């Protein structure tokens, strides 16, 4: 699948969805499939938060700052020729528009898992105590569905993450055509 390089910049695959939708799981499966094709790196919102000393709250203003950090890190890595797979929760339309305008080879993936699905799974215990006043996106912080994602995973499509990553990679083939 490697082709002659026409652009030394990398690309950014941005995976978003509510907490518990499976963003990191899908991102890790995708990274496993991308690494044999060249350089690939994961930028996970929770890990970036920890990298910066967990110095932000979870209110909406702090989430904007957090996504700004993720965006700048993704762009910096992509500008060095990396394929960057981002797993990030908060997605305001302005932030996603910035991504399209500024991130090379941008491809947006939306895990369209409704609040009923993620709250039933609730692997991190985020939804168990209710959202009011706890800064939970989709409960007391507005969830903004992406307006024009390049790829959507619907609840009925839930399957093995490696299978999902293979389908996603096939859907992203244009990103890798004519690029190293």
By DSSP bridging, strand 107-111 and strand 40-44 are unpaired
Model pLDDT, residue 139: 58
Model pLDDT, residue 11: 93
Burial group, residue 73, by CB count within 10 angstroms (0-12, 13-18, 19+): middle
Model pLDDT, residue 135: 64
Within 10 angstroms of residue 78's Cβ, the number of other Cβ atoms is 22
Mean pLDDT by 10 residues, the chain (180 residues): 49 88 90 87 88 79 87 95 91 90 94 73 64 61 81 76 88 60
Model pLDDT, residue 137: 60
| Per-domain residue ranges of the chain | 11-176
CATH number corresponding to 11-176: 3.40.50.300
For residues 88 and 14, the answer to whether their CB atoms sit within 8 Å is yes
For residues 172 and 108, the answer to whether their CB atoms sit within 8 Å is no
SS3 87: strand
């Amino acid at each position: 699948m490697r082709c002659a390089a026409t652009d030394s910049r990398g690309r950014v695959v941005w995976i978003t969805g509510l907490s518990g939708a499976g963003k990191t799981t899908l991102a890790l499966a995708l990274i496993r499939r991308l690494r044999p094709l060249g350089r690939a790196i994961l930028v996970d919102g929770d890990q970036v938060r920890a990298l910066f000393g967990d110095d932000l709250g979870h209110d909406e203003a702090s989430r904007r700052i957090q996504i700004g950090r993720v965006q700048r890190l993704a762009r910096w890595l992509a500008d060095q020729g990396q394929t960057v797979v981002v797993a990030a929760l908060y997605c305001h339309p302005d932030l996603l528009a910035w991504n399209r305008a500024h991130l090379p080879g941008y491809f947006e993936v939306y895990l369209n898992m409704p609040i009923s699905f993620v709250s039933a799974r609730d692997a991190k215990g985020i939804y168990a105590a209710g959202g009011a006043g706890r800064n939970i996106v989709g409960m007391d912080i507005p969830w903004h569905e992406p307006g024009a994602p390049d790829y959507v995973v619907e609840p009925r499509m839930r399957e093995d993450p490696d299978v999902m990553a293979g389908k996603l990679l096939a859907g992203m083939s244009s990103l890798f055509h004519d690029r190293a």
